[in-house]
Structure formats: C-alpha cells, structure tokens
C-alpha cells in the first residue's frame, strides 16, 4: 500500500508542476519589423534559454514568477524585459542594429589598426579560456533541416520528378528533404572526454529512424588553434585567435559597444591570402576578460571546401557564472549545388541547464554516445513542451504530411509492393550490376554478382567463369547481427576444372563463427596483390600474365570475439590439399613483340616446372589485436566500438602441424605489427604508418603458399592500402625465414599546392610514401613515392633502392579509401 501511495504522490507532484508551467512567447524583429532568425533568448543569471526559429518566433517554458528576459543576436543591441508571469504571455521584441562607436580610438595614417592589440590579448588568454572549465554537463537541443532549392526533372535517365514527389516535395521539386530534432544530455571533462545521452529524437517521414544530430558533431571551440572539419575541408581551418593567427589573418576594428556594462569590440577578420584555410566575417571580443563574446563567420569555395559552396557559422555565448561564459547557441548554414541540383539548410543547437560542477563515475566516458530504444517514440505533447525552438508553418506541414507517408512506408503491404517493383529482373542490369532480391519486412536479402565481372582470363584456366551469390538474414534484431552465406561456382574452359566454395558467418552469442570450404583456383600470394580483372586485361592485351595460381581444396573454421574494449581475438583452423598448376592456355587478343607467356612458376618464369609438389596442410592461426581504446557508442541495435587515437598492435601465431589428417607441413611463424591511419599533423596534413616483423621459429617442412607474402605491385594500377608497396615483385621476395617491413605515408592535404594560383582550385593533396622491406635475401629494399590525390584518386611516381643502387622507377595510379 505504501508503494502505491508513493507512486500517486509522485504523480500528483509531477502533474502539479506541469500545471504550473507557463510560457512567454513572441517574435524578435529588427527596426524594419523583419524577423531576426535564431536570436538567443535566455533568463538573466540562469542557464535557461532558447532560440528563435528561422522566422524569429520563440517560446520559453517557465514556472510562474518574475524574470529578466535577455534578447540577443549577433550584430544587434541586446534588449532585456522584466516580466512577471502568472499566466502565459506574448512578448514581441524589436532589436536595434548595434552601433559600434569608432570615436574611442584614433587611427593614424600608417599606424596599426587597434584590432591587432585586442586580438593579441585574446590570443594570450586563449589557453586560459580553453581550460577554465574542467567539466560540465548541459542539455542540448539540435534541429537539422535540408531543403531542395532546385533540381532537374530527369538526371541520367532517372526520374527526379517522380522521386521528389514521392518524397513529399512540391511539383517544382522543391521542399524539405530532411528535418529532424533531437535533445541530449551532454557531459564533458578535460581534456577531451565526452558522453552524450540522446533523450529524444524525431525524424520527419520516419517513425523508426534516429536523428543524425549529435551534440559532439556541432560542438565547435574557437579557443582551439584549429578546427578539424573532416570531409568538409582537406585542411584544418585556422581559428581567428589561434597562436599563429596573425600569420593568417588581417584584422580591422569596427568599433565598440556596451552590453550589460561591459565593452564588446567588433572585429572584422579576413584571410591574408584569400585561399588559406581561414574564416571571413566578424568576431566579437569582450574586453578585460578578452574572451569571445560572439562569432559570425563563413568560408567559401575559395577556401577549397568540399561539397558545399558556402558555409556560415555563428555562435553566441552567455554567462553561466560570474567568470565563465559558455555557448548559448551554435548555428551552421550552408548552400551547395552540383549538376543542376541545389540544396541549402542549417543545423542549430541550443544549450541550457549548465552544471559546472558535475560528478562523474570513473568509466562514464567509455560510452561516448547512448541511444536507448524508445527515444524516437515521444509523442507530440512531449515535443510541444520540450521543443525550445518553435516550428515554422513549413516545418509543421512537413511533419504532418510525411507522418502519413511514414506510416504507409513502414507497413508490410507497402514494403512488399516496393520489393515487388525493385525485385524485377532486368537482363541488362544483371550483366553490369547483378541482381538483388529483397524482402525488407523479413530482413532477407539475396544478391547475385554481375555476370560480366564473373568472366576472367588467366593462363592457368584460360577463359573462366567464377560466379558468386550471397544470402543474408537478420537473426538478432537487438544487436543487428546477420547470418551471411556466400557461395561461388566456377569453371575453366582450358583446364576443364570445376570449382566451388561456400563461406558462412554465423552469430553465436558474443562470438562470430565462420565455416568455409570448397575448391578454388587462387593466387599464390595470399595478399591477393592483383585483381583478376586487371590480370585478364594485361594478359589479353599485353600478353603479361602477372597472376600466378594454384588449386586449393579446403575446409576451415574461425571464431572471432571482442574480448573487452579494444582487445579482439580470432582463432582459425584450416585443412587443405594444395596443388601447383601449369599453364593451360597461350591465347591473347594481341601479341605485341611476339612475346611468350611466362610459366606459372614465379621463381622460374622461363621453365614450366612445378613450384611445389602436391601436399596437404593443417594449420592453426591465432591473432589478437589491441588498440588502447575502450570507447564505444550504444545504439538500440547494440554496441559499436570507436577507432582509437592510438596505434593498433597485433600479434599473430601460425602453427603448421605435421601428420595430423595427413598434413605434410611443419612450421611456426610468429609475427607482430603496429599501425595507425590519419594521424593529424594540424595544418601540415596527416600521417599513416604500418610496421610489421616476423620470424619462422621452425620451417622443417614448408611450401610456397605458407611463406610470408608481401603486397607488391608490378603494373600501372596500384591496389592501395597503407601496407602495400609501389614497385615490389608480387612473388619473388616472399620468405620462409624472417622479415621486417615498414610503410609511412604523409598527406599534406594541399598545404603546398594551395599556395599556387589556379592549381589551388583543383583541390589536390600532396602525397609522400616511404616503404621498406628487409629479408635475408633482400636487404634494405626502400621505395620513395611522390604523388597527388584528388578525392580518392591518386597518381604516384615511385622509385626503389636496394642497398644503395637504383633498381626501378615507375608511375602508379590508384584509388585510396
């Protein structure tokens, strides 16, 4: 009985508090009665606040009482209103354009602009403001909106008009294509620990999706020297108050104003060199404290940003204690256009309820993000009470219209009808893109490879087909895990051999079980350094058969598990019957220079003799890796671990066991490696590296497929990857003794070429590669590579040295991911 009375009491208290909620709402305009979008509204001496919407409308939920409401927008004079709230009240406010007085300072001809003295003081205080808050929590509301501003009716045969109509856009192909809101509790602790719990999420047009909005994604701190906006800009963008900002920026003092008895300086910032990765616009500095009062900045294509034409950024701060100012709102606005499509939009975040003295548990920051099931199920009543930025009429209409579409789209009849249309078989698509059969409602997917990609040519099989298909089905909806079965079947028209393999991946508790087997014609180099397609082209058109093959009939099993945090382990066992194969075809479309194909023995290319006798192998491999990170994100479908800021170390042990199941092999290989990609070097780009070393502790009985292989390259096209060589022979330098290899790549991200007129517009990135290999038969082999990259495409010039003598030079083309 006591329990029920307690529940009723809590309910009555909550109902009482809810019933006492009142609102102050209205519109913020300028002197000409035009709305001021996204003005900040907050209660003086508190951390409660909100932001106006794009039409200047605002709403603030409060309990009855007397408040001093502050209205603030960058470029306008702050206003305050004393309000006594007993019932809800409408309060419209007009802000005057801020008059920044210039008569306080006399600027002599040839003298330094007073802005520089102010900026120097702000730079001097930068580190102090960066570190002044050791930890805090707050509530963050984020709204994201993207609109189609223009689009062609058709694009490369695709019916854009139909697609946009189905997406809820108007007949002119204009309207909202993405609208979402989220609310999170955000926690921070120096130097870079964050934890975010999403409290609510709403996505227009979907009842199941979760908002892409993340407080950590929109968090920007201009007290940091640089802003790393990966993807948007190849180079980090320099803060106007970075330690070296005076090298990058010009400053002009625009005047001062008085806000709440404190002096605010308005300073115009422009890049010294127009194409440097710098902002343009205005920064507002609060005197005495020399802290940032507000920002109104933008970058354009001239700064070589990707995907968007212009990105505008504004941030406003407010005092949360007598000596601490924190962001009240952050806004990104963007426009972009490509191939007749034009989009625009914004993301705005509103911060409130700061706590500067929180208490955290020791492991709280291991979990970077938490999204529990049900956060996207909040009803309209919840959002009406919790949404700090009122919806515009357009946004209300979008939610209403797309709610009907969402209900329809998530129904079984609709999904079945969609699958029926998409599952239609097309011979043309099957040849080039394959065939894909989906049952979305049951989460079953069948995929059949493109027929043309299954056809290949090599000198061992002649023309051959190796056709594949796969099946996947979600069997663990909580952790979003799938049963996956992949099968391939092949036939060589010259050697008349049939092949076939089946590979499976099965979730078993916290493990992933792999069971594989069959017969295949596969590369002697287990790193698969050259694709079958490229080998086919070189063979048929150049009479160069780089790929060397053997037959493997095998069965294997593997078990993978994340032990804890960044520690993972895999154990596998394989039994195989292995046979070297001779060439079976000498066909080619052309025979330039009347050349003969080399034999399938890479060590004796002019002699058609077996590389190794037929043998049986049973081997066991154990590999473990650790990346020094235990940070993860938790979604309704399970836990997802995040990449570490530290290198990943790996340890591998392979044991070839003789006599077991008739096995002929007897060897032990122990190897270790350490690697890390995209290590930020600030304005100088980013670095990646891989170092590996290994030793055969015993090689009593070993065959070429058991050797340590290296990812070499002998053709124009490079297969990419950090642990690959530009010029190394595919097979010659494999070893059964010991080795050390090292790879270092630095991407200058346009640091050099961006300074050259015209070339800077190409957005090229400079690449430098160094590769090293040492074995008992190949001592101190070194490659140097220099090249350029655009997006993911690159061209490299490489040269190699072996103990001081130049051995090879060539150009390489590739794709890097």
- Does residue 389 register a pLDDT over 50? yes
pLDDT at res. 767: 95
Note whether residue 743 is domain-resident. Answer: yes
Note whether residue 248 is domain-resident. Answer: no
pLDDT at res. 817: 47
Mean pLDDT of 207-213: 71
| pLDDT tens for each residue of 392-401 | 998 998 888 8
- For residue 274, the surrounding DSSP H or E stretch is none
pLDDT at res. 816: 57
Mean pLDDT of 721-730: 93
Same domain, 700 and 606: no
Same domain, 607 and 670: no
Flag the least confident range among 9-18, 95-104, 425-434, 757-766. 9-18
Note whether residue 621 is domain-resident. Answer: no
Residue scoring higher pLDDT (153 or 649)? 649
pLDDT at res. 805: 59
pLDDT at res. 85: 85
Distance between CA atoms of 289 and 103, rounded to whole angstroms? 22
Same domain, 587 and 701: no
pLDDT at res. 478: 66
- The pLDDT-based confidence of 240 (bands split at 50, 70, 90) is very high
pLDDT at res. 804: 56
Of 321-335, 353-367, 736-750, give the range with the top mean pLDDT. 736-750
Note whether residue 213 is domain-resident. Answer: no
CB of 625 within 8 A of CB of 568? yes
Same domain, 703 and 812: yes
Distance between CA atoms of 360 and 409, rounded to whole angstroms? 42
- The pLDDT-based confidence of 105 (bands split at 50, 70, 90) is low
CB of 741 within 8 A of CB of 758? no
Same domain, 702 and 768: yes
pLDDT at res. 726: 94
CB atoms within 10 A of CB 543: 21
pLDDT at res. 14: 37
What is the distance, to the nearest Å, from the Cα of residue 726 to the centroid of all Cα atoms in its chain?
Answer: 27
Please identify, among 43, 67, 94, the residue that sits at the C-terminal boundary of a domain: 94
- Does residue 432 register a pLDDT over 80? yes
| pLDDT tens for each residue of 644-668 | 889 999 999 999 999 999 999 999 9
pLDDT at res. 401: 84
Distance between CA atoms of 305 and 781, rounded to whole angstroms? 39
Same domain, 673 and 777: yes
| pLDDT tens for each residue of 59-103 | 988 889 889 999 988 888 888 899 888 888 899 999 988 777 765
Flag the least confident range among 7-16, 38-47, 168-177, 672-681. 7-16
Give the closest residue to 787 by CA, choosing from 813, 752, 755. Answer: 813
Distance between CA atoms of 539 and 460, rounded to whole angstroms? 11
CATH number at residue 30: 2.60.40.10
Phi-psi region of 724 (alpha: psi -120 to 50; beta: other; left: phi over 0): beta
Distance between CA atoms of 492 and 578, rounded to whole angstroms? 18
| pLDDT tens for each residue of 678-690 | 998 888 889 999 9
Mean pLDDT of 127-155: 91
Residue scoring higher pLDDT (358 or 260)? 358
Same domain, 702 and 802: yes
Percent of the chain beyond pLDDT 90? 56
pLDDT at res. 9: 34
- Nearest 5°: the CA angle 279, 282, 283 is 95
- Does residue 6 register a pLDDT over 80? no
pLDDT at res. 72: 87
Distance between CA atoms of 767 and 149, rounded to whole angstroms? 37
Residues sharing a CB contact under 8 Å with residue 206, sequence separation 6 or more, in sequence order: 406, 409, 410
CB atoms within 10 A of CB 327: 24
- The pLDDT-based confidence of 20 (bands split at 50, 70, 90) is low
Distance between CA atoms of 176 and 184, rounded to whole angstroms? 24
Mean of all residue pLDDT scores within the chain: 88
Q: Which two tokens mark 517?
A: 């087997």
- The pLDDT-based confidence of 8 (bands split at 50, 70, 90) is very low
Give SS3 for 352.
Answer: strand
Mean pLDDT of 281-301: 93
Note whether residue 644 is domain-resident. Answer: no
Range 775-786 burial, b when 16+ CB lie within 10 A, else e = beebeebbbebe
Residues sharing a CB contact under 8 Å with residue 282, sequence separation 6 or more, in sequence order: 74, 75, 254, 266, 267, 268, 269, 295, 296, 297
| pLDDT tens for each residue of 582-638 | 999 999 998 888 899 999 999 999 999 999 999 999 999 999 999 998 899 988 878
Residue-range definition of the domain harbouring residue 797: 665-817
pLDDT at res. 7: 35
pLDDT at res. 109: 58
- The pLDDT-based confidence of 309 (bands split at 50, 70, 90) is confident
pLDDT at res. 341: 85
Residues sharing a CB contact under 8 Å with residue 656, sequence separation 6 or more, in sequence order: 617, 618, 619, 663, 665, 666, 667, 668, 701, 702, 706
Note whether residue 144 is domain-resident. Answer: no
Name the residue with tokens 């063979």: 539
CB of 768 within 8 A of CB of 788? no
Give SS3 for 363.
Answer: coil
Same domain, 689 and 815: yes
- Does residue 4 register a pLDDT over 70? no
Range 488-507 burial, b when 16+ CB lie within 10 A, else e = bbbbbebbebebebebbbeb
- Does residue 779 register a pLDDT over 90? no
Same domain, 589 and 675: no
Residue scoring higher pLDDT (499 or 372)? 499
Flag the least confident range among 19-33, 59-73, 180-194. 19-33
- Does residue 797 register a pLDDT over 60? yes
Same domain, 602 and 535: yes
Mean pLDDT of 337-362: 89
- Segments in 410-531 forming alpha helices (H): 412-422, 427-432
CB of 612 within 8 A of CB of 604? no
Distance between CA atoms of 176 and 163, rounded to whole angstroms? 13
User: Phi then psi for 765, rounded to 5 degrees?
Assistant: -115, 135
Please identify, among 72, 94, 116, the residue that sits at the C-terminal boundary of a domain: 94
Note whether residue 326 is domain-resident. Answer: no
CB atoms within 10 A of CB 539: 22
Note whether residue 656 is domain-resident. Answer: no
- Does residue 511 register a pLDDT over 80? yes
Same domain, 535 and 669: no
pLDDT at res. 233: 76
- The pLDDT-based confidence of 110 (bands split at 50, 70, 90) is low
Count structural domains, the chain.
3
Residues sharing a CB contact under 8 Å with residue 595, sequence separation 6 or more, in sequence order: 543
Distance between CA atoms of 655 and 700, rounded to whole angstroms? 12
Same domain, 707 and 776: yes
- Does residue 287 register a pLDDT over 80? yes
Please identify, among 69, 94, 119, the residue that sits at the C-terminal boundary of a domain: 94
pLDDT at res. 322: 84
- Does residue 130 register a pLDDT over 80? yes
């Amino acid at each position: 009985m006591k329990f029920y009375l307690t529940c009723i009491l809590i309910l009555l208290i909550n109902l009482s508090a809810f019933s006492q909620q009142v609102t102050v709402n209205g519109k913020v305009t300028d002197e000409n009665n035009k709305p001021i979008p996204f003005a900040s509204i907050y209660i003086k001496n508190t951390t409660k606040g909100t932001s106006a919407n794009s039409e200047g409308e605002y709403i603030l939920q409060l309990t009855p009482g007397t408040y001093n409401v502050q209205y603030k927008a960058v470029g306008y004079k702050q206003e305050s209103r004393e309000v006594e709230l007993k019932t809800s009240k409408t309060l419209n406010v007009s802000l005057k354009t801020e008059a920044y007085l210039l008569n306080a300072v006399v600027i002599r001809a040839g003298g330094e602009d007073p802005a520089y003295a102010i900026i120097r003081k702000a730079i001097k205080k930068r580190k102090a403001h960066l570190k002044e808050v050791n930890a805090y929590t707050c509530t963050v509301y984020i709204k994201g909106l993207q609109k189609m501003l223009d689009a062609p009716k058709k694009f490369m045969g695709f019916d854009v008009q139909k697609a946009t109509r189905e997406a809820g856009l108007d007949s002119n192909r204009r309207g909202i294509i993405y609208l979402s809101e989220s609310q999170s509790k955000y926690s921070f602790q120096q130097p870079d620990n964050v934890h975010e719990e999403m409290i609510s999420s709403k996505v227009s047009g979907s009842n199941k999706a979760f908002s892409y909005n993340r407080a950590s994604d929109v968090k920007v701190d201009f007290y940091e020297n640089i802003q790393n906006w990966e993807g948007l800009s190849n180079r980090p963008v320099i803060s106007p108050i970075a330690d070296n900002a005076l090298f990058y920026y010009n400053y002009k003092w625009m005047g001062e104003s008085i806000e709440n008895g404190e002096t605010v300086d308005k300073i115009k910032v422009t890049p010294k060199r127009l194409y440097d990765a710098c902002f343009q616009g205005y920064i507002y500095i609060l005197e005495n404290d020399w802290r940032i009062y507000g920002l109104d900045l933008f970058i354009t294509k001239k700064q070589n940003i990707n995907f968007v034409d212009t990105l505008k950024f504004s941030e406003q701060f407010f005092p949360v204690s007598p000596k601490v100012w924190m962001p009240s709102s952050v806004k990104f606005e963007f426009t972009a256009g490509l191939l007749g499509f034009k989009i625009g939009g914004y993301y705005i975040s509103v911060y409130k309820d700061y706590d500067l003295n929180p208490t955290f548990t020791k492991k709280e920051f291991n979990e970077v993000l938490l999204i529990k099931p049900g956060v996207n199920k909040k009803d309209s009543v919840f959002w009406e009470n919790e949404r700090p930025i009122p919806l515009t009429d357009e946004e209300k209409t979008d939610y209403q219209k797309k709610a009907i579409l969402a209900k329809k789209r998530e129904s079984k009849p609709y999904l079945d009808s969609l699958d029926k249309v998409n599952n239609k078989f097309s011979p043309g698509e099957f040849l080039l893109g394959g065939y894909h059969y989906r049952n979305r409602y049951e989460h079953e997917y069948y995929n059949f490879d493109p027929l043309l990609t299954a056809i290949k040519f090599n000198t061992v099989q002649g023309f051959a087909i190796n056709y594949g298909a796969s099946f996947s089905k979600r069997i663990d909806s909580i952790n979003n895990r799938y049963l996956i079965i992949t099968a391939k079947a092949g036939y060589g028209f010259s050697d008349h051999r049939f092949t076939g393999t089946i590979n499976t991946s099965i979730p078993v508790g916290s493990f992933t079980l792999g069971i594989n087997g069959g017969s295949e014609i596969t590369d002697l180099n287990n790193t698969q350094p050259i694709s079958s397609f490229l080998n086919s082209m070189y063979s048929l058109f150049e009479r160069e058969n780089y790929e060397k093959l053997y037959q493997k009939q095998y069965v294997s099993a593997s078990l993978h598990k994340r032990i804890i945090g960044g520690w993972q382990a895999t154990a596998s066992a394989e039994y195989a019957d292995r046979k070297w194969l001779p060439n079976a075809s000498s066909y080619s479309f052309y025979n330039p220079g009347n050349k003969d194909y080399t034999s399938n023995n890479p060590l004796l290319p002019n002699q058609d003799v077996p590389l190794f006798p037929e043998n049986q192998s049973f081997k066991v491999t154990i590999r473990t890796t650790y990346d020094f990170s235990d940070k993860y994100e938790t979604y309704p479908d399970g836990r997802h671990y995040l990449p570490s800021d530290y290198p990943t170390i790996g340890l591998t042990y392979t044991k070839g066991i003789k006599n077991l199941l008739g096995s002929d092999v007897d060897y032990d290989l122990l190897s270790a490696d350490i690697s890390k990609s995209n290590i930020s070097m600030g304005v100088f780009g980013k670095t990646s590296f891989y170092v590996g070393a290994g030793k055969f502790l015993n090689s009593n009985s070993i065959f070429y497929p058991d050797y340590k292989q290296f990812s070499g390259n002998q053709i124009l096209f490079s297969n990419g990857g950090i642990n690959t060589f530009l010029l190394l022979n595919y097979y010659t330098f494999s070893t059964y003794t010991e080795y050390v290899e090292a790879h270092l790549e630095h991407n200058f991200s346009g640091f050099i070429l961006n300074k050259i007129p015209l070339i800077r517009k190409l957005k090229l990135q400079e690449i430098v590669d160094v590769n090293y290999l040492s074995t008992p038969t190949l001592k101190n082999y070194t490659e140097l590579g220099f090249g350029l990259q655009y997006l993911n495409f690159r061209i490299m010039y490489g040269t190699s040295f072996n103990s001081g003598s130049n051995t090879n030079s060539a150009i390489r083309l590739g794709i890097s991911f």
